[in-house]
Chain A
Amino acid sequence: MDTLLYLTRRIAQALVVILIVTVVVFGLLHALPGGPARGILGPQATQQQITLFNHDQGLDRPLPVQYLYYLRQLLHGDLGTSYTLNEAVSRLIEQRLPKTLVLTVLSAVLGLLLAIPLGMWQAVRRNKPADYVITTLSFVAYSTPVYFLGLVLVLVFTQVLRWFPSQAPQGDTVAQVFADPVALVLPVVTGAASMVAVFSRYMRASTLENLSEDYVRTARAGGSRPGAILWRHVFRNSLTPVIAMLGYYVPVLFGGALVVEQLFNYPGMGLLFWSAAQSSDYPVLLGCVLVISVATVVGTLLADVVQRIVDPRVKAGRT
Chain B
Amino acid sequence: MNSILEIANLGVTFSTESGDVPAVRGVSLRVEPGETLALVGESGSGKSTVALAALGLLPGNARASGGVSVGGTDVVGAGEAELSRLRGRTASMVFQEPATALDPLTRIGKQIAEVVRNHQDVSRQEAAAEAVALLRRVGIPEPERRASAFPFQLSGGQRQRVVIAMAIANSPGLLVADEPTTALDVTVQAEILDLLRALAADSGTGVLLVTHNMGVVADFADRVAVMLEGEIVETGAVEDVLLRPTHEYTRRLLAAVPRLAVTGSGSGSAVSGEAEGAPVVELRDVSVQFGRGPRAVRALEGVSLTVRAGETVGLVGESGSGKSTAARVALGLVAPESGGVSLFGANLRRTRGRARRALLAGVGVVLQDPVASLDARMSVAECVAEPLRVHRRGMGAVERRERVAEVLELVRLPRELARRGPRELSGGQRQRVSLARALVLEPRLLVADEPTSALDVSVQRTVLEVITELQAELGFACLFVSHDLAVVQRFAGRVVVMRGGRVEEQGPTMSTLLHPETEYTRRLIAAVPVPDPVLQRERRERRLALGTGAGA
Closest A residue, CB atoms, query B153: A316
- The 8 A-B residue pairs whose C-beta atoms are closest, nearest first, are A223-B88, A222-B115, A214-B100, A222-B88, A223-B118, A221-B93, A223-B87, A215-B103
* Cβ contacts under 8 Å, A233 to chain B: 103, 105-106
From A2, A213, A232, A317, contact of B106 by CB (8 A): A232
Task: Let me know if B89 is at the binding interface, CB within 8 A.
Answer: yes
Cβ distance A146 to chain B, nearest Cβ, rounded Å: 35
Cβ distance A239 to chain B, nearest Cβ, rounded Å: 9
Task: Let me know if B510 is at the binding interface, CB within 8 A.
Answer: no
Write out, one digit per residue, whether chain B residues 308-341 have a CB within 8 A of any chain A CB (1) or not (0). 0000000000000000000000000000000000
Whether A220 pairs with B57 at a CB distance below 8 angstroms is yes
Closest B residue, CB atoms, query A310: B105
Task: Let me know if B150 is at the binding interface, CB within 8 A.
Answer: yes
Whether A316 pairs with B101 at a CB distance below 8 angstroms is no
From A1, A226, A237, A316, contact of B103 by CB (8 A): A237
Task: Let me know if B92 is at the binding interface, CB within 8 A.
Answer: yes
Write out, one digit per residue, whether chain B residues 78-89 have a CB within 8 A of any chain A CB (1) or not (0). 001100111111
* Cβ contacts under 8 Å, B111 to chain A: 219
Cβ distance A6 to chain B, nearest Cβ, rounded Å: 11
Cβ distance A207 to chain B, nearest Cβ, rounded Å: 14
* Cβ contacts under 8 Å, B55 to chain A: 221
Whether A312 pairs with B84 at a CB distance below 8 angstroms is no
Q: What are 16 contact pairs spanning A and B, CB under 8 A? A: A5-B293, A220-B84, A221-B167, A222-B166, A223-B85, A223-B87, A223-B89, A223-B119, A224-B84, A224-B118, A225-B80, A232-B106, A233-B105, A312-B105, A316-B152, A316-B153
Whether A218 pairs with B89 at a CB distance below 8 angstroms is no
* Cβ contacts under 8 Å, B101 to chain A: 214-215, 217-218
Task: Let me know if A236 is at the binding interface, CB within 8 A.
Answer: yes
* Cβ contacts under 8 Å, B281 to chain A: none
Task: Let me know if B95 is at the binding interface, CB within 8 A.
Answer: yes
Cβ distance A306 to chain B, nearest Cβ, rounded Å: 14
Cβ distance B147 to chain A, nearest Cβ, rounded Å: 15
A188-221 interface with B by 8 A CB criterion: 213-215, 217-221
Whether B295 pairs with A317 at a CB distance below 8 angstroms is yes
Whether A224 pairs with B114 at a CB distance below 8 angstroms is yes
Closest B residue, CB atoms, query A234: B103
Other A-B contacts than A218-B102, A236-B106, A312-B152, 4 sampled, CB-CB below 8 A, are A214-B101, A223-B84, A223-B118, A312-B150
Cα distance A218–B115 when bound, in Å?
10
Whether B152 pairs with A313 at a CB distance below 8 angstroms is yes
Closest A residue, CB atoms, query B119: A223
Q: Which residues of A contact B (CB under 8 A)?
A: 1-2, 5, 213-215, 217-226, 232-233, 236-237, 240, 311-313, 316-318
Whether A218 pairs with B166 at a CB distance below 8 angstroms is yes
Cα distance A311–B100 when bound, in Å?
16
Cα distance A225–B211 when bound, in Å?
29
* Cβ contacts under 8 Å, B80 to chain A: 225-226
Whether B114 pairs with A222 at a CB distance below 8 angstroms is yes
* Cβ contacts under 8 Å, A222 to chain B: 87-88, 92, 114-115, 118, 166-167, 169
* Cβ contacts under 8 Å, B88 to chain A: 221-224
Cβ distance A209 to chain B, nearest Cβ, rounded Å: 12
Closest A residue, CB atoms, query B169: A222
Task: Let me know if B551 is at the binding interface, CB within 8 A.
Answer: no
* Cβ contacts under 8 Å, B167 to chain A: 221-222
Cβ distance A265 to chain B, nearest Cβ, rounded Å: 45
> Of residues A213, A215, A222, A226, which shows the largest number of chain B Cβ atoms within 10 Å of its Cβ?
A222
Task: Let me know if B163 is at the binding interface, CB within 8 A.
Answer: yes
Task: Let me know if B130 is at the binding interface, CB within 8 A.
Answer: no
Task: Let me know if B26 is at the binding interface, CB within 8 A.
Answer: no
Cβ distance B38 to chain A, nearest Cβ, rounded Å: 20
Cβ distance B291 to chain A, nearest Cβ, rounded Å: 9
Task: Let me know if B532 is at the binding interface, CB within 8 A.
Answer: no
Whether A218 pairs with B95 at a CB distance below 8 angstroms is yes
Cα distance A316–B294 when bound, in Å?
12
From A1, A221, A225, contact of B57 by CB (8 A): A221
Closest A residue, CB atoms, query B100: A214
Cα distance A5–B291 when bound, in Å?
15
B65-101 interface with A by 8 A CB criterion: 80-81, 84-89, 92-93, 95, 97, 100-101
Whether B150 pairs with A221 at a CB distance below 8 angstroms is no
Cβ distance A12 to chain B, nearest Cβ, rounded Å: 14
> Of residues A2, A220, A223, A316, which shows the largest number of chain B Cβ atoms within 10 Å of its Cβ?
A223
Task: Let me know if B104 is at the binding interface, CB within 8 A.
Answer: yes
Contacts A217-B95, A218-B163 given; does A232 touch B114 at CB 8 Å? yes
